Structure 1
Amino acid sequence: MFFKLFLALATASLLVLSGLLYSALSSSREALIRQKSDDMTLFIERTGQYLDLYVQNIRNLLINVSASIDGPLMEDDEGLRKLLQVQIGRNSGIVADLFVLRHDGTVLSSNQLMYDVVGHSELTRVFRIVDEHPGLINWSEPYYSPLQTRRTIAFAVALKDGTGALLAEVNTAQLTSRLNELLYDSGQGFTLFTGKGNIVSDDPKSQIVPYKTGTLPPEMEDDFVKELTGLPNGINHIQGKGGPLMAVKSERNQLGWYLVALTDERTFRAMDGRLYVRFMILGSLWFSLLLALTLAISRHFTKPINRLALQMDRLRGERVALPFRQSERRDEIGRLSRSFSTMLEHIQELLLAVKMTEERKKETELKLLLSQIRPHFLYNTLACISSLALQHRVVEVDETIRSLVKLLSYSLGRSQFAPLEEELQALRQYMQIQNVRYGDAFRLVEEVDPSLLPVPVPKLMLQTLVENAIFHGFASKGTGVARVGALAEDGRLLLTVWDDGEGMTQAQIEAVLTGLLHDEGGQAQRSGGIGLANVRERIRLHYGPEYGLRIQSEPGRWTKATIELPLP
């Protein structure tokens, strides 16, 4: 019921949100296009005003300089070059170079050294623009200037009395930089054309305009230039380097030049993407709210039955002990819930009684296992003391009794567990007893990680393993080394006892782990292996079947017993 209700409401909401998204995207795109168009139109107007002011400054410069040049100055090379250099210093942001053409054909430059070294093959042709409109300031079409190493244009005027002509080359690098500053966005560009369709200025670093490869200075692709010059005034759409561009073309300056402002239309898609993300967030919030509302609506009808079904599913294993929340309803569902609760209480009581019985049984088994260990150890130790007394070795008897007292105090404690550090200390006491009895025939080496010393372990486990090594591993050799180790690995505590005794076959390993050996007639008999079987059974009762004791051995060379316990 809940799923069907939610699906119906979600489908209706999805249709409404889709319609709203489509409408918003359309409106947003139209508004963005209008804004970009207005920005580009404003850029064109500002650029036209700037170009008019730019040209007026050049005209004033030419008029002022030409008025300062008279007959005597025309004959003074040094004075004339100095005048040109001073004017360039004052107007370097507008004009790159000033040239004076004398009537005898010689040319003086504001940068005479560069002119003499590089030359300027275009000057003779460019100076001819003076004759187009005598007495007026004229300008050329764009041409390549070797002094600027880029495309430029020139403004020229005839000097008084026909003594020569004055020409100024525009600093197109500064002009391009200034026009770039007037742009509003990094995804925009521009191209400035003369009335004849020749490029005056453009941004060679633009990422939206296609340029020819391997040209210096950079040149636009011919097809793109042809398409730009052929555009009508107003808003147009063309294909750029990386996608469609919006182009606004206008002629709003005194020179009759055309300015084309370009905008990458991918910025429109980027805005659409951001708006789409916002709608997705809004839609997610709405569907979350819708889910909550649907859940609240269906909750009144389905929750009591679902709760009762879940409680019935818990009637497996120990989950039956989980608390049950009765329904407060007064209808049939409420009566069924109360009846089920009563039945569940009876089941829980029975399970609790069974669990307590199992725990008492487990505790009894552990006590029985410990009672098997202590008499066995006590018997061996008392036999050792008896032997020492018969030999009148009083000092050894005293030391052995002291060690025995400490071991009995440790083993008879109330807790079945002790820190690993205390277990090792008890093991040292045990080895002291054995060394008194057998001399220094047996040596104990400890290889324990100090960080594991506080970890609790079952008592007397290490002693049982070392005792097995002494009485079974070293029996024929008479001497040996037992290495006791402790390390942590994959969340488990590994306790190891390695000895260099006579080793065991696989059949012997299986026999000592079960506590049974076989005599020569094949009859099963109890043996000293009961201690190892005892250790394995204690681990199983304490920690479960996934932990225990395993033995590895190479007959005649060594034996290694490993106890696996969980780390707390």
Structure 2
Amino acid sequence: MGKEIFRSLKKKLCQIRSKLVIYYFTFLVIPMAMMILIFNVAIHVMKNSEAQYTMNILSQMNNNISETMNRIFTQTARAAVDKSLWSILEKSKEDADKTRGEDQRTVTDILLRYLGDMPFIQSVNVLGYNGEIYSLEDGGASLPRDYVFTNSEWYQKMQAFGTESLLVPTHKSYDMLAENQENNVITYVREIRNDDSSMGYLMLEVETGIFTSYIDSSYFKKDSSIIIIDSSTKKVIYHTKPEYINSQFREGYLSQILSNSQGYLVTDTHKEEQEIVAHTTSEEAGWKVIYTLPVKVAYKSIRSLTFMAVYIFILCIPVAIGLAIMVSKNLTNPIFVLRDCMKEVEDGNIQVEIQVQSQDEIGELSISFQKMLEHIRRLIGEVYQKEIHRKQAELNALQAQINPHFLYNTFQIMDIMAEEKEAYELSDACQALSRIFRYSIRKKEEVSLKEEIEHVKNYMYIQNIRFGDRLEVIYEIVPDTLDMEIIKLMIQPIVENAIIHGIENQDKVCRISISSLVTNDVLSIIVEDTGSGMSSEELSRLRTEINRDVLESGETKRREGGIAMRNVNQRIKLRYGGVYGLYVHSQKQKGTKVILNLPAKRVKDI
């Protein structure tokens, strides 16, 4: 019972209607899969777009920061090698105290010359080993006269590392200077050194507000943050939320961004709120510039794409169902018609005609099936006609053997009688005729070229007795072709025709050449004479006669010799196919050439 149910279910599933239902169900699933794919692709594209945009903005901002810091480093280095400044710092404490006022004005001029066009510099101080401290008095903060820089932390670091300059991360101004300036600054210290020894230090403070000018809020989305940290100390130099400035940066992705000069990442999903993090590096300052944005803000626009995809999918369902019904009907009806016609052909009715109902692949299949039926009917007719031809040829051959048998026996008796009378020339002629008739009555249809040539030589022996010196025969047979297959009695009718038209109608010597050659697996046998030849009109009629069907009636008047050539041509084509056969070339008063083309195969291969 279970097997019967299974077979019934399998049969129904194999029906084209069942398959179409499965296909239509698949078509309903495909749009959903496409929407999911589009959604994922959209997320990927938008993430890449967001990343590229953010990295471009960060790169531009980092270039601005690097350009500013490089300018500070360059101008400070130029001020540190100013010889006027050297001459002031080379003075002893006593001499410096005497010229304090003048030296302060000189230092102010030097500092203004190199650093005066940088409004973001909060203060500049020159510290000498002679104990003197000079500052930029143009509104800048100054250190007290008793400030001992050799006891400062920054000095200890520079001595320990042996560096000529030091960039101190963000700190409160009063942490380094004596004045109670509580704004956040970045301190840069540069050693003043002549050719022989260190003379002091040039120290300046830069307001962290300088970074605000590089951050255009219109470039960044709401809830995003810009952070600048010192790569070595991990301290926050700048943050869009000021309360984080000068604090230690402790985010979990810190080690990842420090290991790469720039990049783009998304924080782990286990975090309360995922963030997009883009970062780059200021090589001049050794800082990391970081941009963060909550994922939910970055991908807000994707929600509208999701709703649109769902809406399109819902609309596709009824449309797909309607199309399924229509397509199923259009597809199955022509198939059922074709199936019924095939059943009739299976029952033996090959005369059935198919009514083509569509122009699609099913219609093309119906047309091809109809053409196949027409081809089958034509092939059956051709096979039938060929069978009739073959039977007729066998009948003709059987009838032709009656006279040769009688004549063969007769010539055997004549040969014996001639030898008894010592008429040896007559005896040789009888023997030649005997061999001719014995060859002609052989039942084997295929012979070697060598056997056919021997038959032709026997025939030509009789003709030479008749015509004497008026007939010359040249044999140019390639030795390698002697064992190739040829149909019996093919060459002799052609030679006989050459004699009739080449010597009987004229007094001059007729030369007949018989040659063979193999080209591209085709054996060609050429019979050429120097007889009277034919005009183009006669040649055309002969070629038409040669290609007439073997069973056509002989009511029309034919050129003498045309029947023999036609029979040879038909025997070749029936035996080997239409690509082989007999071909005639002729010119008036120049002679005639007949070419027999057969497949080049050897008798031993038959």
Tell me the TM-score normalized by structure 2: 0.36
Tell me the TM-score normalized by structure 1: 0.38
User: Which is greater in Rg?
Assistant: 2
